[in-house]
Structure 1
């Protein structure tokens, strides 16, 4: 695995930079345990290990956040994704990662102009009636400028930063390799599946790089929410939009960050809270396609108590099966049915064998039963979802990536609702829609459709059965039918036994040298060194060297065991910064 990190020389410089930043921010132990320092030294890179006093006094979560900020856009985005994983990280780390800022200094227009002219097919002055050279906003991936089309339509022009794609691709390659090293060298992180987490992050970030894909997300969301009648999604101007450039309608209104101005504008805060909840619940439980980052900066309130959503770079998707499971979970929480909640969570977090930890099931049932007598109007659904993720983290279980993203969006939504209306209750707002969606699944047409799909699937399996049986018999006839039995950690156990046998052999040889040398020292005659029998002296020297090697090997393995476990041999119950 370590050789894979060094397989591509084009990434060596960036890898050394990453290791240096981690060390400078007090995370040198992680660099050492991953083996990066030794690997870079072997490749001819020299790492300095400074540990400034001011950094050493900072809490580990702060050190991690500062390191991610210095590492650049890819790692900042990764930190923001981790900020929504309450099932992986402790609250103090989540709180710190939530402070990661994607707003970076804007690039001067002169640096954007060559790429912008190429994408527009001409100078901005010839395409737009007006183009503001001063950016409206700037982020780590793109920056936004206001403009006006020749027909007078006000638009925003989102321009991807030039040259950012190869930098992000290099960082993603390194992140994938580092995740593999983490699973191999840090067993305590294995239950959290770092490689799967990084792969999911890579897919999300690559989609975010494609600004045309973001435009397609917006159009799909607009079509899904059109029946509500009170949701606005900015219209995309496709003739001017591509992978590196997006031109969309400019929606003017009050940002959700400016809640205090809503009353002066004549807007109904309680109605806005209910409508926002209704829109996002429709995205999640009905459409299975939702805005995965509904923070206040991406929500705008308009006259007539309309709600607008912008920035669809990060979206979540839920399959029909997953939506059904989510529906059962939310209804179980709202209606206080512990068995229903435990059943869904066990299905989500059980291992490949279907094992369900009894302690986890009992803890979930106790948690839901604890809220059994709480009136619906007092039920804090967002806090309950947060508590469930903490329970899972305590048991070293991780939610699937799509569900972790959804829970983060759900909790953010409830925060927006309570900012508008302190009496807002997500459970009360969700229950009618959840029941309606559940009833829709049991309509005769829906049941008939499900039954027909099941019959079609069974027919496909039966149609393939003769061919599968024929293939199996041919393999058996030619002696190519094999049964593989895999025993986890057997290879590791074999290496340990081989190492123990080698040490035992060396110990026996060392003991033989000591005995033989003692006999040789008593024999008169023969060559001498410093007045002592030469063969006896050489034998003693060999025995000393063998003994020192044995002591060093034992001490090294003891230190390695200490770094792989917490005190008392127990693996850490969460990611340690």
Structure 2
């Protein structure tokens, strides 16, 4: 807050610290309210910005809150559907089935068709409240970025702005409805995994009507061990296929968002946040995973460097050492229980700390893998994601090596090259014409010499002041020997004044040198 040092420490008592810094951050977010809870949940998907200990702690943020009475939601339901609820629902249970920071879910039955549905209604006034809290969070991030040098490379204001855009999209329930429809359209194995069907005609910005799913949590599926193991495999293969084949995946498949249905299927809930990967990113990710499993730190660093922004200048040798240590600690197959998701989170933080900020969707992917591994272990203590990756990787590599795809990519490259050659003569003519018609100048700028220039200027000033002081001392000494009046304390006054002025100048030079530590 830019308060002078020492004042606020006296005004505010120092509280005891029974919790670690990570725990205090989570508790503060929970006390600050819905927007900060959501913000913390979004930041928990950014391992390139925060250390793994903070990521793990922020993942504990819970959105469960005290439910509000249905009367406060009825107006929203009527406004969004533009009719009374009784015209759409033959039954509507006013007791909420779930209550979160942004919405509440109610169970109902459609009047037309009689299907049981779940109705998700946004809390009244929550959008305005979130906007205000996000403005406060942006201000706090700017202050942290300004005053804490260690966190400046992570560019927290940009991260908060990205989180703001994500939260605003999540407030539009139509996005969640589209994501669920898109997943079900791409899903090749609906007999194993699926998302609830949505009713687009009843979905608006603040109301989402979808199929009601009866199921049990993955922590207590109530199935034999062999069926639980198969379910864990189905969930893992589905997520890997979403990431590597479809390039569209559920960004937060934690245990609370996955249900085991009575017919032995997995249902993915809460599609408000989804990741998107381009073909190039999907192929690089496949190489990334293979290199991680093979403990090839050099290959991992090279892939990350290829995907890094053009202005990134990381120390690749130092990164290789950090990546090697991370792989040995998180993917040590000899010790058992290797965790690919945890390793990906840690690697992304290493990259971010070294100036390689990969795509936000890579962070979402790492978080999704981490979550699905937790779900897999909840269903099967012996779960190992590596066993379910090879079929999907082979399918992706076949796609990359398919002659038809190779020929198509070759045609694309050839087409772009021919277009470039076609445009080259015109570009060359424009350059020549500019030289003919204008008087172009070349500006040379020496970079890194600013400190030298400042040092030379300060040195010149000190030398000049030193010459003035010396001249005053010599002149004053000559005046003192002449015994010319007026006198002061028996000596010529002009000489005494000259001594005093030279002493003041000399003292100023000494204090300035000490203050700026130039004596070192």
Q: TM-score range by the shorter chain?
A: 0.7 to 0.9
How much does 1:323 deviate? 0.3
How much does 1:239 deviate? 1.9
In structure 2, what is the Cα distance between the partners aligned to 1:510 and 1:67? 60
| Equivalent position to 2:229, from 254, 261, 270 | 270
Residue 285 of structure 1 is matched in structure 2 by 244
In structure 1, what is the Cα distance between the partners aligned to 2:458 and 2:494? 32
In structure 1, what is the Cα distance between the partners aligned to 2:453 and 2:413? 49
Residue 7 of structure 1 is matched in structure 2 by none
User: Counterparts in 2 of 1:26-105, with a 5 A limit?
Assistant: 31=1, 36-37=2-3, 50-55=11-16, 58-105=19-66
Change in CA separation of 1:159 and 1:487 when aligned onto 2, cut-off 3 Å = farther
Indicate conservation of the 8 Å contact 1:119/1:244, yes or no.
Answer: yes
Residue 224 in structure 1 maps to residue 186 in structure 2:
yes
Q: Which moved more, 1:539-548 or 1:204-213?
A: 539-548
In structure 2, what is the Cα distance between the partners aligned to 1:134 and 1:474? 76
Indicate conservation of the 8 Å contact 2:488/2:496, yes or no.
Answer: no
How much does 1:419 deviate? 1.4
Indicate the SS of the match to 1:146: strand
Residue 111 of structure 2 is matched in structure 1 by 150
Change in CA separation of 1:52 and 1:335 when aligned onto 2, cut-off 3 Å = same
How much does 1:154 deviate? 1.7
User: Counterparts in 2 of 1:291-302, with a 5 A limit?
Assistant: 291-302=250-261
In structure 1, what is the Cα distance between the partners aligned to 2:506 and 2:67? 63
User: Counterparts in 2 of 1:503-514, with a 5 A limit?
Assistant: 504=462
Q: Which moved more, 1:405-414 or 1:185-194?
A: 185-194
In structure 2, what is the Cα distance between the partners aligned to 1:298 and 1:504? 69
Select the structure of larger CA radius of gyration. Answer: 2
Q: What's the RMSD between the two structures over aligned residues?
A: 4.3
Residue 194 of structure 1 is matched in structure 2 by 156
Residue 213 of structure 2 is matched in structure 1 by 251
In structure 2, what is the Cα distance between the partners aligned to 1:345 and 1:210? 34
Change in CA separation of 1:424 and 1:113 when aligned onto 2, cut-off 3 Å = same
Change in CA separation of 1:436 and 1:475 when aligned onto 2, cut-off 3 Å = same
User: Counterparts in 2 of 1:204-219, with a 5 A limit?
Assistant: 204-219=166-181
Indicate the SS of the match to 1:129: strand
How much does 1:312 deviate? 0.9
In structure 2, what is the Cα distance between the partners aligned to 1:67 and 1:182? 16
In structure 1, what is the Cα distance between the partners aligned to 2:195 and 2:389? 22
Q: Would you say how many aligned residue pairs link Structure 1 and Structure 2?
A: 511
Residue 116 of structure 1 is matched in structure 2 by 77
User: Counterparts in 2 of 1:320-399, with a 5 A limit?
Assistant: 320-349=279-308, 352=311, 357-364=316-323, 374=333, 379-389=338-348, 391-392=350-351, 395=354, 398-399=357-358
Structure 1 unaligned residues grouped into runs of 5+: 1-30, 39-45, 559-577
Q: Deviations over 1:174-226 (max 9, x none)?
A: 55565556555544334323344234323322211111111111111111114
Indicate the SS of the match to 2:275: strand
Change in CA separation of 1:56 and 1:416 when aligned onto 2, cut-off 3 Å = closer
TM-score norm. by structure 1 comes to 0.74
Q: Deviations over 1:540-571 (max 9, x none)?
A: 6997699689859965x78xxxxxxxxxxxxx
Change in CA separation of 1:420 and 1:510 when aligned onto 2, cut-off 3 Å = farther
Q: Deviations over 1:461-484 (max 9, x none)?
A: 334434433443344334375656
Change in CA separation of 1:437 and 1:91 when aligned onto 2, cut-off 3 Å = closer
In structure 2, what is the Cα distance between the partners aligned to 1:464 and 1:273? 55
Q: Deviations over 1:500-526 (max 9, x none)?
A: 479849975995899599879978877
Structure 2 unaligned residues grouped into runs of 5+: none
Residue 17 of structure 1 is matched in structure 2 by none
Indicate the SS of the match to 1:303: coil
User: Counterparts in 2 of 1:160-171, with a 5 A limit?
Assistant: 160-171=122-133
Residue 86 of structure 2 is matched in structure 1 by 125
Residue 312 of structure 1 is matched in structure 2 by 271
Indicate conservation of the 8 Å contact 1:342/1:361, yes or no.
Answer: yes
Change in CA separation of 1:60 and 1:333 when aligned onto 2, cut-off 3 Å = closer
Residue 456 in structure 1 maps to residue 415 in structure 2:
yes
| Equivalent position to 1:414, from 373, 378, 381 | 373
Indicate conservation of the 8 Å contact 2:193/2:238, yes or no.
Answer: yes
How much does 1:410 deviate? 0.6
Q: Which moved more, 1:363-372 or 1:114-123?
A: 363-372
Indicate conservation of the 8 Å contact 1:334/1:431, yes or no.
Answer: no
Q: Which moved more, 1:535-544 or 1:439-448?
A: 535-544
TM-score norm. by structure 2 comes to 0.81
Change in CA separation of 1:387 and 1:355 when aligned onto 2, cut-off 3 Å = closer
